[in-house]
Amino acid sequence: MEFWSAGMGKKHLVLGLDKTKYEVDGEEMILTGVVDAPADWNYEVKMTREDWVNVLKIATSSEAGQFLENSVGMRRLMQMASSILKFTILLATFKMAKAVGINTRDKNKPSEGEENAEIKYA
């Protein structure tokens, strides 16, 4: 992924999203990594739930569909479809677990006040 702004002149920041680390901190998902070019700069992106809504809105637009139809081969399209299916199943699993009262928090990172609480997994 490339980022550019008028303040950077002709420079583009190249991010290797496949190397991004991420964690959830309260109401935000924090993505961190190192810019691949033009220099090794650390970056941090904080995404809220509303940001996710907007990303998915863009990803499901007809313009995105047209772009991908013109630039993605059948193999990559099937990989993307698989990822979308996994995402949907994962989200449904977490929603269902929450609905029946199962705690799905990461066992290595209890939320505040849960240090000694029993953690259950689906």
The answer for 9, left when phi > 0, alpha when psi is -120 to 50, beta otherwise, is left
Question: What total of structural domains would you count in the chain?
Answer: 1
Joined together, the tokens standing for residue 66 give 């047209």
Q: What is residue 8's three-state secondary structure?
A: helix
Q: Is 61 inside any structural domain?
A: yes
Q: Is 122 inside any structural domain?
A: no
How would residue 116 be classed by pLDDT, with cut points 50, 70 and 90?
very low
Q: Is 17 inside any structural domain?
A: yes
Joined together, the tokens standing for residue 52 give 């996710």
Q: Is 110 inside any structural domain?
A: no
In residues, how long is the chain? Answer: 122
Range of the domain at 77: 2-99
pLDDT in tens, 44-85: 999 999 999 999 999 989 999 899 888 889 999 899 899 999
pLDDT at 15: 82
Ordered DSSP codes for 22-52: EEEETTEEEEEEEEEESS--EEEEEE-HHHH
Q: Report how far residue 115's alpha carbon sits from residue 5's, in angstroms, rounded to the nearest whole number.
A: 43
Q: Is 35 inside any structural domain?
A: yes
Q: Is 114 inside any structural domain?
A: no
CB 45 within 8 A of CB 30: yes
> Is the model's pTM score more than 0.85?
no
Q: Is 111 inside any structural domain?
A: no
How would residue 122 be classed by pLDDT, with cut points 50, 70 and 90?
very low
Q: Is 8 inside any structural domain?
A: yes
